[in-house]
Amino acid sequence: MRLTPSPHRQEMPYARDNPNAYPRRILVAVTGLSPQIVTETLYALAIAPAQGASAFVPSEIHLITTRSGAEKARLALLSDEPGWFHRLCRDYALPPIDFAAGHIHVLTDAAGDPLEDIRSPDDNRCAADGITELVRDFTADPDCALHVSIAGGRKTMGFFLGYALSLYGRPQDRLSHVLVAEPFESSSAFYYPTPASQVIELAGGRLADAASAQITLADLPIVSLRHGLPEALLTGRASYSEAVAAARLALAPPQLTIDLAGRRIRAAGKVFALPPAELALLSVFARRALRGEPPLPAPPKEVPDAEWRKRYRVELHWINGLLGESERTEKALRDGMDGRYFSSRLSKLNETLNRQLGPAAAPYRISNGSKRPPRYCLTLPPSAVGYGEIDAAGAHAED
């Protein structure tokens, strides 16, 4: 279900939180065997928006469903007859909306086979991953505004779709549930309120005029957790469980563990390796935080500092053991550490932390105190810093 991102990447000339102003406006819905969720939601968004709300006319529609749900949606919505989606567009003279069979996304199992239904734990996991990937792909496009409907399909499908939007959603994205008043609710013959009288037969042989139907769109506010996800999960493929775990870690209290012999750290719950030069610098400040010692000034820019060399070499020897320093490091620190060497190591350390942790990296970066002259420290409290062996399983290597 992977999509090709939009080529648009220029600065947005439209209001950031106004969905209607975006050139690419996508309606995404989950359905089971009730494809009318699509036409009901489209009617509520584009034709009869709630009082005070602006009409949202999607430029494209995407449907997430099972194999049997896809077949029913294709026949009911996109066929020549009855073709309820095309009927609605003609009845209300809607502008062109890109919705074709290729926009019906069928969830697959671990082997890549279409899911007939979602019943087992494995089915649920695969559905969650597929839904999450689709939402992540859509929200990677800055020129796109996403409207997500969770009214159809299995309850777990609606939950996963809503939670995926909470993980990846931006200010312009919306979540809703469509409500159809009696006697049309749950009627397989009803697809939308028609502009002219159209009598349909309901369950039990009861007749009703579709033109009199009332549809309401319930807006569902979301709490966006996007800011807590690492860049790798925003731009690459991520499972539902990985994205949830990353969001949880971003909200958890910071905790840093350093394994000097193993050349790795655990930060924000994630284990990854650090090169000796950057690990040694982090350890200098971690020990000071552990002891409650004050911030340090950086070594002078052009003047080697022997004291800085001493504290830095202590950490390098803990890391490299009997091998000591590399020839390159020994040469660079022969007379002491200067400001250029310090700044280079600090920059690479912070780059690695940002890459591995995203926004969750903030508590683990070395802070300069935002004052002049700058004085550097790790702002974690002593209780959040520790040293010890870290299991290498799941560690991410850094060059």
Residues 176 and 301 in one domain: no
Q: What is the CATH number of the domain that holds 101?
A: 3.40.50.10770
More confident site: 257 or 358: 257
- Top-confidence residue, 351 or 5: 351
**Looking at the predicted structure, is the pLDDT value of residue 12 above 70?**
no
Q: pLDDT tens-digit profile of 30-60?
A: 998 899 999 999 999 999 998 878 899 999 9
- 32 and 111 assigned to the same domain: yes
301-337 confidence digits (pLDDT tens)? 888 999 999 999 899 888 986 455 566 777 778 888 9
Q: Are residues 69 and 140 in the same domain?
A: yes
Please tell me whether residues 231 and 93 are part of one structural domain. Answer: yes
Q: Look at the chain and report how many structural domains it folds into.
A: 2
Residue 324 is predicted with a pLDDT of 54
Q: Are residues 318 and 351 both part of a single domain?
A: yes
pLDDT of residue 283: 96
Does 102 lie in the same domain as 47? yes
User: What average pLDDT score do residues 131-150 get?
Assistant: 93
In this structure, what CATH number is given to the domain that contains residue 360? 1.10.10.10
pLDDT band at 119 (very low <50, low <70, confident <90, very high): confident
Residue 183 or 247, more confident: 183
**Residue ending a domain, choose from 222, 246, 270:** 246
What pLDDT score does 301 carry?
Answer: 86
**169 and 313 share one domain:** no
- Please tell me which residue, 120 or 148, carries the higher pLDDT value: 148
The 3-class SS string of the chain reads CCCCCCCCCCCCCCCCCCHHHCCEEEEEEECCCCCHHHHHHHHHHHHCCCCCCCCCCCCEEEEEECHHHHHHHHHHHHCCCCCHHHHHHHHCCCCCCECCHHHEEECECCCCCECCCCCCHHHHHHHHHHHHHHHHHHHCCCCEEEEEECCCCCHHHHHHHHHHHHHHCCCCCEEEEEEECCCCCCCCCCCCCCCCCCEEECHHHCEEEHHHCCEEEEECCCCCCHHHCCHHHHHCCCCHHHHHHHHHHHHCCCCEEEECCCCEEEECCEEEECCHHHHHHHHHHHHHHHHCCCCEECCCCCCCEHHHHHHHHHHHHHHHHHHCCCHHHHHHCCCCECHHHHHHHHHHHHHHHHHHHHHHHHHHCCECCCCCCCEEECCCCHHHEEECCCCCCCCECCC
In terms of domains, do 310 and 377 share one?
A: yes
- Domain hosting residue 327, numbered range: 254-387
Of 212, 246, 280, which residue sits at a domain end? 246
Q: With cut-offs at 50, 70 and 90, classify the pLDDT of residue 360.
A: confident
* pLDDT higher than 90, residue 344: yes
Domain limit, last residue, from 211, 246, 281? 246
| Domain match, 172 and 261 both | no
Q: What is the mean pLDDT of the chain?
A: 87
Say if residue 155's pLDDT is above 90. Answer: no
